[in-house]
Structure 1
Amino acid sequence: MTSVDSRTPAESAESAENARPDQPSVAAPWWTTAVVYQVYPRSFADSDGDGVGDLGGVRAKLGYLAELGVDAIWLSPVYPSPQHDNGYDIRDYQDIDPVFGSLAEFDLLLAEAHELGLKIVMDLVVNHTSDEHPWFVESRSSLDNPKRDWYWWRQPGADGAEPNGWGSAFSGPAWTLDPTTDEYYLHLFAKQQPDLNWENPEVRQAVYTMMNWWLDRGVDGFRMDVINFIAKQPELVSGPQAATDGGSPMGAQIHDYLQEMHRAVFAGRTGEHLTVGEMPGVSIDDAVLFTDAARAEVDMIFQFEHVSLDQGAHKFDPLPRRLPPLKQSLARWQDGLAETGWNSLYLNNHDQPRLVSRFGNDDEFRYESATLWALVLHLHRGTPYIYQGEEIGMTNVRFESIEHYRDIESLNHYREAVEQFDQSPASVLAGVHAMGRDNARTPMQWDDSAHAGFSTATPWLAVNPNYPRINVAADRDAPRSVFAFYQRLIALRHADPVVALGDFELIEPDHEQLYAFTRSRNGQMLLVLANASDEPLTVQGEWLPDDISGAELVLGNYRGDGSAALRPWDARLYRF
């Protein structure tokens, strides 16, 4: 995002297609045909044998990512951090944590990635810092410190209670009493992650200076962690009781902040930089405003509606997956951002369980369901994000006891549920098995050697025990390779404007097994047919073309004759 073009990506592409030779054309932004791969560095590859992944490990695997065909790498935080929340509690925004390497090694990674045509997108975490960040150390030191107003401080409420009823996303209240000044500070996440006060212009300027420093170094953009939370509701009193109960503490000034950020950081720069905002709780109407190119805020957002549908009273209360609500949700976002804005497409990341376990069958039909969801997701309109291991069908892990888990969210939930609410340890652990973030954070499974080839030492988090069967080497050698299927999907997005920019239309929205939709553009149409179930399905309906057997089968995850009978987890892409 550099210059502002008020046209949609599709309109820009159409202008380019229709331009006369003597007229300049405006191409669609690069990210409309791109695929982004998320690297969680501490779990990706360990180059120095300390059990923790690092930048050297990422550098060693750049060729693998280039072969997969992705265009950009989103790098989860590698800044200096006490690691209470695996790097999302940042002590210093302008350095690299020694556990991951050094700035010099980061520069090598950046240069080597660029040589391979890969962009590097940094994780920007500026809703909060670590409580060890020098800014907060100063802020908490006294009531009159110049940085006191860089964070949210409030006097105790009645009887010394918290200033309001807001809850932390990681269990417990969102306020902690600091004994140095006998005031509470706000933390929407862990108590070691105090929230920055973006109403202070000095805070905003410090953040913009830091962002410019990284862009000057050569990075290609930012994924912005819970960026809509930087704007708090007025006086911190009128919001919901928790940031994770379906609401949001987001204040209306968020648009002013993001537009100011664009002016201070991106405006006037050469080249295009990706900006994607993680925004829990936003609506489609919000997303249109955030991603409208004419408003110059962000290129796309991560929304959470579709990954909340299988959760009950809270995140760790899993519900059975039902297909109609999921596809209807994704279709609403397709329709809502069709004319203005842009979607980001994902089914798992470092905060979500593995997609093949959550949405598919990770046992008998692991290959089929992994490739079905890949085809379904990548054929939606938007920019797909692949999370490390997704491209080989990695699954959830089921550790036998809570002691094997490392994630602060899961550990706090378990302790609160068992100790304060007297729930049975077995039932609480079942919720962690299903929804815990460590499902996505077990080390990458490269081969069947010790520790899955991730490290020569005992990893910081245990490897999934199924690694001898599920690993990169085994998948690459298999006659039916998930990796090879992803390669073909990515190549298709690069080559076919219908995949990147075509209109979307959902078919049979209430069907419990069938996920079907069309993509169309300039007289061409693609049809996706997917049987998201363990049972065979005969496809029929007025919406089907007269003779489906006459269509070109572009891609499928079964070998067969292309008849209308879909086998379990059968996914096909046809061209008409």
Structure 2
Amino acid sequence: MKKKKTDFHKMVGYQIYPKSFKDSNADGIGDLQGIIEKLPYLRDLGVDFIWLNPVYKSPQVDGGYDIADYYAIDDLFGSLTDLKQLLTLAHENGLKVIMDLVVNHTSDQHPWFLESKKSKDNPYRDYYLWADARPEHLPNDWISFFGGSTWTYDASTEQAYFHVFAKEQPDLNWKNPKVREEIYKMIRWWLDLGIDGFRLDAISHIQKMPWDYKIKSWKGDGPWVPFMNVAGIEAYMADLKAIFDEYGALTVGEASGVRSKQAPDWTDDAGYINMIFELEHNKRKKDGSGDIYGYKKVILRWQEDLLSRGWNALYLENHDQPRSIDCFGDGSLASAKALAVSYMLLRGTPFIYQGQEFGMTNFPFTDSSQLRSAEIKQQYEKLLTQFPPQEALRKITDGSREHARTPMQWDASANSGFTSGQAWMEINPNFPEVNSEKNTELIQLYQFLIRLRHQEAAIADGSIRFHFSRHPQALVYEREEFLILVNLGTRKAHLDFAKAREFTDENSVSDYVQVLGSQQRILKEKMTLSAWEYQIFKKKKN
């Protein structure tokens, strides 16, 4: 019997990177019991569900996205019993739990791959993508997301295996029905256990072009075109949708290569998933800072292309991006507030990344010993051949995902309240000033914005219309009876509503009252917004 779909339009998600969230046993690594300890905090924040980055058994080559056992919890984080307890207590606190579903690849330590490597006629050989090769002549010249070839040569069988990420993450062969059967069985197992859904990692890469495909252009998706939303993926996604619908699972897809005009087909009522993360708005200038106008243009396009059908997943930060307060903001609490208002009231389901709600900042890297990601370390070593150590470090950490993975700054006590041991990664030294107990103003703003989504149908389900779309830093939009104005910059922003004819033809500025703002304001035909000013107005009832 098909279960009722979750009302995800009203919901707000909270992303947890478990390794850095809360340590309960003094080993310096965040764990499931630490998350359990902080469930009241998450409940009081007002979010509706939490997304856990991978906690499966893993060698941790790529932050747990290299899974060695789909059914086991890594000892770093606890046990399956701990996870079951987390599910029970989260549900008692009114919180749903979704987990990462990583099925484009496994770890090279997964039993399937260990068997697959043994010989060409091993029953598991076809679980992965192998091709005849020589060390100097690989099947093609495709490039992985982590740099270098997508192929790793295996001398013992004189073939190479394919991987779009690290060589320790061999891609699964989705053309093999046995592989699909194993994956579908695993998905049902987790849903039967009680989790509420999945964030589908790298899902748009499960179908590949033929090995002789030649990359025609380096624009757009560039070297990754051969494994970005390739035709034929539809059949696999339809299989997944059938399972998700059966369980009423909450689903969000990381689907690079799916364009804004294609996203409605993925996320409408007949689509494969509930919502989709776009990866385009994280635009950078040459100095590594965020491109506000570029961010704005991408947001407008995705909002407009998914207006008639489909659904966005909204975010400023995640485990792969630097902190928004420093990237798009100027490091101030005022910029963090403006950014929060700018995206939390858009059409879609907002996600908050751990620490974002109280303004955690980028880490001030001073030495390469502070780096933790194997990929980042390798890139740093390459840069050392061209630049002095400090310049190489600056280049590799500008815009790095390392900033998002530093431990949570809970309070001003030793080790920021994250652990009573030695933290696995350095804690940002600004934790006495930036922590969940200190920056309550920003937390309270997020709580208010979450309540608006819960209480106001216009915010949860309403249409959206943008004004001043070409303004370099002002983001202005209507959510039916609501009008939101945000200045995403340090310069003043001048707005003349008389020139926004589509607004003034239907509305009078005198029809609106302030709901919330960074300063007391009356809506006027001509307005000058201060640096990082935000305003939320609502039309008066007749």
Query: Normalising TM by the smaller chain, what interval?
Result: over 0.9
> What's the CA shift for 1:428?
3.2
Identify which of 460, 464, 467 aligns with 1:504: 464
Aligned counterparts of 1:127 and 1:396: Cα–Cα separation in 2:
30
Amino acid at match of 1:306: H
Is 1:228–2:199 an aligned residue pair? no
Amino acid at match of 2:404: A
1:168-567 matched pairs, under 5 angstroms:
168-235=144-211, 237-238=213-214, 247=225, 249-250=227-228, 251-263=230-242, 265-269=243-247, 272-295=248-271, 297-307=272-282, 309-310=283-284, 318=287, 320-362=289-331, 366-419=332-385, 422-476=386-440, 481-520=441-480, 525-542=481-498, 543=500, 548=509, 551-558=512-519, 564-567=527-530
Amino acid at match of 1:217: L
Aligned counterparts of 2:342 and 2:47: Cα–Cα separation in 1:
18
Alignment correspondent of 1:24: none
Is 1:570–2:533 an aligned residue pair? yes
Aligned counterparts of 2:390 and 2:264: Cα–Cα separation in 1:
43
Alignment correspondent of 1:105: 82
In structure 2, the CA distance between the partners of 1:562 and 1:108, relative to structure 1 (3 Å rule), is: same
Alignment correspondent of 1:59: 36
RMSD: 2.2
8 Å Cα contact 1:188-1:195 kept in structure 2: yes
Deviations 1:80-111 (A, max 9, x none): 00011111110100011011000011000000
Aligned counterparts of 2:122 and 2:224: Cα–Cα separation in 1:
36
> What's the CA shift for 1:58?
0.2
Aligned counterparts of 2:212 and 2:33: Cα–Cα separation in 1:
43
Is 1:35–2:35 an aligned residue pair? no
Q: Which runs of 5+ in 2 are unaligned?
A: none
SS in 2 for 1:498: helix
In structure 2, the CA distance between the partners of 1:507 and 1:55, relative to structure 1 (3 Å rule), is: same
8 Å Cα contact 2:72-2:80 kept in structure 1: yes
8 Å Cα contact 1:398-1:433 kept in structure 2: no
Identify which of 98, 102, 111 aligns with 1:125: 102
TM norm structure 2: 0.93
TM norm structure 1: 0.88
8 Å Cα contact 1:166-1:241 kept in structure 2: no
> What's the CA shift for 1:161?
2.6
In structure 2, the CA distance between the partners of 1:336 and 1:417, relative to structure 1 (3 Å rule), is: same
Number of paired residues? 529
Amino acid at match of 1:575: K
Amino acid at match of 2:170: P
Identity of aligned residues (%): 42
- Higher mean displacement: 325-334 or 101-110: 325-334
> What's the CA shift for 1:417?
2.9
Aligned counterparts of 2:421 and 2:182: Cα–Cα separation in 1:
39
Deviations 1:358-405 (A, max 9, x none): 10110xxx2111111111101110000110001001111121022211
In structure 2, the CA distance between the partners of 1:31 and 1:236, relative to structure 1 (3 Å rule), is: farther
Amino acid at match of 2:175: E
Aligned counterparts of 1:172 and 1:379: Cα–Cα separation in 2:
40
Amino acid at match of 1:70: V
Deviations 1:544-564 (A, max 9, x none): 657646622112233566773
> What's the CA shift for 1:509?
1.6
> What's the CA shift for 1:119?
0.3
Aligned counterparts of 2:137 and 2:189: Cα–Cα separation in 1:
41
Amino acid at match of 2:512: A
Alignment correspondent of 1:80: 57
Amino acid at match of 1:98: D
Alignment correspondent of 2:73: 96
Deviations 1:305-325 (A, max 9, x none): 111x326xxxxx655544332
Alignment correspondent of 1:15: none
Aligned counterparts of 1:359 and 1:174: Cα–Cα separation in 2:
33
8 Å Cα contact 1:291-1:298 kept in structure 2: yes
Aligned counterparts of 1:247 and 1:507: Cα–Cα separation in 2:
34
Aligned counterparts of 2:348 and 2:377: Cα–Cα separation in 1:
35
Aligned counterparts of 1:219 and 1:240: Cα–Cα separation in 2:
42
> What's the CA shift for 1:279?
1.0
Aligned counterparts of 1:201 and 1:244: Cα–Cα separation in 2:
30
SS in 2 for 1:94: strand
In structure 2, the CA distance between the partners of 1:322 and 1:436, relative to structure 1 (3 Å rule), is: closer
SS in 1 for 2:51: strand
Amino acid at match of 1:30: D
Amino acid at match of 1:410: I
Amino acid at match of 1:299: N
> What's the CA shift for 1:341?
0.9
In structure 2, the CA distance between the partners of 1:457 and 1:244, relative to structure 1 (3 Å rule), is: farther
Deviations 1:450-487 (A, max 9, x none): 111100111111011111110011123xxxx1100000
> What's the CA shift for 1:510?
1.6
